[in-house]
């Protein structure tokens, strides 16, 4: 029976793959994902590598193959429902059987590493968005703000300071979570402004 699995693969390490994710991939005729995602699995079926340039085409290809009777796994970094590929798949409005396999988001892992009860925090995703004034209202609520940025942390720190947020406000950056070169920095906005991080990070403003 044809089906489209939307599989959350967690933050990137095999340690955070769920058994449900492994089973979905094992039972698929085709697996589609980024190279980093595909490398997490032993795949005996057809696999297709996607990137930012061919993303839309690959999502449509996944749906087409399911309509043609295939079982397809579409790999999504973190959890598919939080800045993942669940939304763009639903936007295709295709009448196929979809099963979502949840994964561990880097936001969850960041909260765990910093020992933050994330049900008492504000979660902000900025993927696919620019920095806007809307974030200022959230930052000033008095809760920790866990932010999934679409840019380097220094850019966000600069924006916040320029818009009146105290430069000595406590902040943290969790970079490359679950990888061997994972880095966690607890500091202030002013100091983060002068640090270099990759795009693979989560930022917290306390």
Mean pLDDT of the region 46-73: 94
Q: Which residues pair with 49 in a beta bridge?
A: 33
Spatial strand order in the sheet of 98-101: 46-49, 30-33, 71-76, 3-8, 98-101
Residue 114's pLDDT band (cuts 50, 70, 90): very high
pLDDT score recorded for residue 145: 97
pLDDT score recorded for residue 152: 87
Residue 142's pLDDT band (cuts 50, 70, 90): confident
User: pLDDT digits over 172-184, tens only?
Assistant: 999 999 999 999 9
Residue 130's pLDDT band (cuts 50, 70, 90): confident
CA angle 57, 132, 123 (to 5 degrees): 75
pLDDT score recorded for residue 52: 81
pLDDT score recorded for residue 167: 97
199, 145 Cβ separation under 8 angstroms: no
Question: Which of 8-17, 127-136, 187-196 shows the lowest mean pLDDT across its residues?
Answer: 127-136
pLDDT score recorded for residue 131: 85
Q: Which residues pair with 174 in a beta bridge?
A: 184, 202
User: pLDDT digits over 69-87, tens only?
Assistant: 999 999 999 999 998 999 9
Distance CA 139, CA 84 (A): 23
Coil, strand, or helix at residue 128?
coil
| % pLDDT > 90, the chain | 84
Q: Which structure tokens are listed for 178?
A: 């679950």
List, in order of start, the domains of the chain with CATH numbers. 3-104 (3.40.1010.10), 107-205 (3.30.950.10)
Mean pLDDT of the region 147-166: 92
Q: Is the pLDDT of residue 129 over 80?
A: no
**What does the mean pLDDT of the chain come to?**
94
Measure Cα distances from 68 to 56, 64, 73, 74 in Å: 19, 6, 14, 16
Distance CA 10, CA 13 (A): 7
Residue 86 half-sphere exposure toward CB, CA atoms < 13 A = 17
- From the CA atom positions of the chain, what is the Rg in Å? 18
Q: Which structure tokens are listed for 142?
A: 């008095």
89, 111 Cβ separation under 8 angstroms: no
């Amino acid at each position: 029976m044809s089906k489209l699995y939307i599989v959350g693969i967690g933050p990137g390490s095999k340690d955070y793959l769920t058994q449900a994710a492994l089973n979905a991939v094992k039972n698929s005729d085709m697996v589609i994902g980024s190279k980093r995602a595909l490398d997490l699995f032993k795949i005996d079926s057809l696999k297709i590598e996607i990137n930012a340039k061919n993303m839309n085409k690959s999502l449509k290809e996944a749906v087409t193959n399911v309509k043609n009777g295939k079982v397809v796994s579409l790999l999504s970094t973190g959890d598919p429902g939080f800045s993942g590929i669940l939304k763009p798949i639903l936007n295709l409005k295709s009448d196929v059987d979809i099963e979502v396999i949840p994964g561990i988001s880097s936001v969850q892992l960041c909260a765990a590493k910093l020992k933050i009860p994330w049900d008492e925090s504000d979660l902000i995703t900025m993927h696919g968005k620019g920095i806007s004034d809307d974030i200022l209202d959230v930052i000033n609520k008095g809760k920790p703000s866990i932010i999934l940025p679409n840019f380097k942390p220094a850019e966000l720190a600069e924006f916040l300071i320029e818009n009146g947020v105290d430069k000595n406000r406590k902040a943290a950056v969790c970079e490359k979570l679950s990888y061997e070169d994972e880095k966690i920095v607890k500091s202030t906005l002013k100091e983060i402004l002068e640090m270099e991080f990759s795009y693979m990070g989560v930022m917290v403003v306390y």
